Amino acid sequence: MGFCVEWMDGTSSSLGSENWRKTPRIDYKEVLSVDEFERFSRLRERRKKISQEDGVPPYMVMTDAQLAEIAKMENPQISALERIEGVGMAQVEKFGERLLKS
């Protein structure tokens, strides 16, 4: 049994630094209104509960960016979730109703 390693000069793989992130971190408290941030926080709590119940990571339920889009809606409906970028029908069917419950 063996393995091969290929060395690539000029590249860095420092997992301890923030350079590995593809997108910059967003402070949703700064980009959402006070009301939207309150909805966002409630959605995050529901997402956490759903992820624990289903045994999946929270991002598999919805990402923070997707939750922020939902939080911007005054009265989100299940049908509106499908229009959010990256949200698929399977996510809507599996998590949508529980996520939007009052």
Tell me the pLDDT tens digit for each residue of 5-21. Answer: 776 665 555 555 555 56
pTM: predicted TM-score of the whole model, two decimal places:
0.75
Return the pLDDT at 25.
87
Give the pLDDT of residue 81.
Answer: 94
Query: By C-alpha distance, which of 37, 19, 38 is closest to 29?
Result: 37
Q: For the ranges 19-23, 36-40, 68-72, 77-81, which has the lowest average pLDDT?
A: 19-23
CA distance 66 to 85: 7
21-25, 35-39, 63-67: range with lowest mean pLDDT: 21-25
In angstroms, rounded to a whole number, what is the distance separating the alpha carbons of residues 48 and 62?
Answer: 10
